[in-house]
């Protein structure tokens, strides 16, 4: 995919933090870190990330967890 160059402004604090992530090899470069951050933002706002994460869930395990929580809550509620 073709890429376009843009200019952005960051606070000095953010730039230092970004450079620290690059220096410990968390990201290959400032550009790589910013690209990943923008991709994450786009996925979160489009809902695709939520769908991807939800697809990883085991429905039977989720039901068991929900039922376990409900039984605990029922025991702690006062009787009227």
- Tens-of-pLDDT digits for all 80 residues of the chain? 899 999 999 999 999 999 999 999 889 999 999 999 999 888 878 877 777 888 889 999 988 888 876 665 566 667 77
In a domain, 68, yes or no: yes
In a domain, 62, yes or no: yes
DSSP 3-31: ---------HHHHHHHHHHHHTTSSSSHH
In a domain, 63, yes or no: yes
CA dist., res. 66 & res. 80, Å (int): 24
pLDDT value for 52: 80
Of 4, 7, 37, 3, give the one whose Cα is nearest residue 22: 37
Number of domains the chain is built from: 1
pLDDT value for 22: 94
Contact 12, 38 (CB under 8 A): no
Question: Which residues constitute the domain of residue 70?
Answer: 12-75
In a domain, 34, yes or no: yes
The rounded Cα 80 to chain-centroid distance in angstroms is 43
In a domain, 80, yes or no: no
Say if pTM beats, i.e. exceeds, 0.75: no
In a domain, 2, yes or no: no
Contact 41, 34 (CB under 8 A): no
């Amino acid at each position: 995919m073709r890429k376009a160059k843009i200019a952005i402004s960051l606070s000095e604090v953010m730039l230092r933090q970004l450079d620290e992530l690059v220096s410990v090899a968390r990201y290959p470069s400032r550009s790589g870190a910013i690209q990943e951050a923008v991709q994450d933002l786009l996925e979160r706002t489009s809902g695709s990330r939520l769908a991807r994460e939800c697809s990883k869930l085991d429905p039977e395990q989720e039901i068991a967890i929900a039922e376990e929580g409900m039984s605990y809550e029922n025991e702690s509620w006062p009787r009227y």
